[in-house]
Amino acid sequence: MNQSWRWLLTRLRTRVAEFMYGAAMSWVMTPHMLKRRAELERLFMLMTTSDLMGISLSPSPNGLRLLPFLVPQILYWRRRLALWDE
């Protein structure tokens, strides 16, 4: 019976430690990941928009494959760049 209590306490301690680690990492990593996502979106929009204007930064078939993802975000991207420049 003593070993079952030790096993239960060890398992509980492990679960609490995992929960605390996850909570700490979500608090630290969230701003970093949001900033990283914004940078990647900016790069994505730059590459696809430049390809649509005829300035090829990437191979043409890739730009055509990305075109359906680009169309809904053009207005949002322009607004965000205008606010970013201010």
Total domain count, the chain: 1
pTM here is: 0.43
Angle in degrees, CA 50, 52, 56, rounded to 5 = 50
Q: Given pLDDT bands bounded at 50, 70 and 90, which one contains residue 13?
A: very high
Task: Give me the mean pLDDT over the 29-42 stretch.
Answer: 86
Which tens digit of pLDDT belongs to each residue from 43-54?
Answer: 888 888 887 787
Mean pLDDT of the chain: 79
49 contacts: CB under 8 Å, gap ≥ 6? 70, 74, 77
Which tens digit of pLDDT belongs to each residue from 58-81?
Answer: 556 666 677 767 777 777 777 777
Q: Which domain holds residue 55?
A: 2-85
Identity of residue 49: T
